[in-house]
Amino acid sequence: MNKWGLRAKLLASHVGVAVSALLSIILLVNLVMNYSFNRYQESQHQAEANALIEELSASYNVSAEEWDTGTLMLLSHQAMLRENSIRLYDHQHHLLWDTSQMGMPMNSGTTANEMNETLRDTGSIQKAITKDGQQIGTIVIQGIGESSQNLNGQFLRMFNTLLWAALIVVIAGACLFSVIMAKGISRPLLQIKETATRMIAGDLSSRIVFSGHAPGVEVEEVGLALNHLADALEQQDKLRKTLTADVAHELRTPLTTIQSHLEAFQDGIWEPTPDKLQICHDQVVRLVQLISDLENLAAVENPILQLHKETVCLNEIVHRSLHTISGLYKDKEIVVNVVESEAVYISGDYSRLIQVFDNLLSNAYKYTNSGSIQVAVSSNGAEAKVSIEDTGIGIAPEELPLIFERFYRGEKSRNRKTGGSGIGLAIVKAIVEVHGGEIIVKSRQNQGTEVIVSFPEN
């Protein structure tokens, strides 16, 4: 991955959002200000014109048909303050007063055409002046919107200038923010990449340790997942090395024995007597059994293993295994009790299930010198269970998590009379799991062991 790819994308996204937002704001503000402000100005101008009309109407002398001079002077003063021009016409459209020409004599003549020409100017307001229902004159206000429009223009220019300045500040802030965000995100990602690279190179002890601020839930979960993967790979690597050593040990002992006997026969040191040949035969049988165990383990762990499933009775399988195993340990003073209230049926491979209980019951006999073995077969309608509990030597707590590993045996002396090859329980677990079941082992050293096997019922 390009180191700068994430930073560039974050920068582009942040700056793009900021610029789009501010440009949209500038456009909307200008549209709203031009429309709303013009409407507001228009209403204000109309209100001012109406106020002037009221004053002029109130100050009009009907009998003399003229306006009070003080009112007209006040009219000129207001026009000067607002920087506009006001013209007052009588009902015959003769110009009576023009604020742009202070001191204009009353009753000066102005034609209707001149008045209409004046009204063509943009920004002019014409209002009729009435009193007692009769029109007494007309007022024309020119340039009423020029000053307001200038103010509006100045305001919009200042506002737009501030917005453009804000845009520059926001772009700078977005750049800084994106750089900080990119560093915060890319730093743990690069750390994850470096750790994965070391793992590829063979350093399975590498782990990701997040320091400082938390990198975020998603990135942290990726790092933790990689740590879990490293733990699993390291454990598998250790098991692989242990498996290699155990297989070598299991093969070396019988092969060394056979080799030494054959060399002794060849050198004439020993005669090939039946006893000596029996020893060689026993070692060959041991090798064959080891290979058979490995083949069985490989078969049951094969993901495409085809089980020959049928409806089988767990009670029958348990009794058959008890009959097979008890004959091998008839010299031991062990009492076996079978507790069963009803026949329990499951869907499974009969021969594979025989393997499971042959192995479990064999272990129970093997590690129980005296006492009892209790076997219970039960069902709760959804799950079938078989419990095998003995009063044997038990298993140390630190060894319980390891008993299903290949070639693992609690007896470090590897006594073949009791220890076996260490593959049996691995085969048992694989067969149980491929049937959708579960196996649990509980044990207390020097007090006994309980193995619980459960299967889903039909």
More confident residue, 34 or 271: 271
pLDDT value, residue 412:
47
Which H helix or E strand runs over 95?
strand 95-98
Contact call for residues 150 and 20 (beta carbons, < 8 A): no
Token couple for 132:
């007692």
Cα separation of 389 and 339, whole Å?
11
Query: What number is the average pLDDT over the span 183-191?
Result: 75
- Per-residue pLDDT tens digits for 34-84: 777 777 777 877 787 788 788 777 777 777 777 777 777 777 777 777 667
Cα separation of 354 and 427, whole Å?
12
Handedness of CA 36, 40, 41, 42 (dihedral sign): positive
Token couple for 420:
């076996």
Q: Is the pTM of this model over 0.75?
A: no
Q: Residue 107: which pLDDT band, with cuts at 50, 70 and 90? A: very low
Taking alpha carbons only, the member of 181, 194, 255, 188 closest to residue 6 is 181
For the domain 301-456, what is the CATH superfamily, name and number?
Histidine kinase-like ATPase, C-terminal domain (3.30.565.10)
- What ranges do the domains of the chain cover? 5-148, 217-281, 301-456
Choosing among 1.25.40, 1.10.10, 1.10.287, 1.20.120, the CATH entry for 217-281 is 1.10.287
Choosing among 3.30.70.20, 3.40.50.1000, 3.30.450.20, 3.30.530.20, the CATH entry for 5-148 is 3.30.450.20
Q: Residue 235: which pLDDT band, with cuts at 50, 70 and 90? A: confident
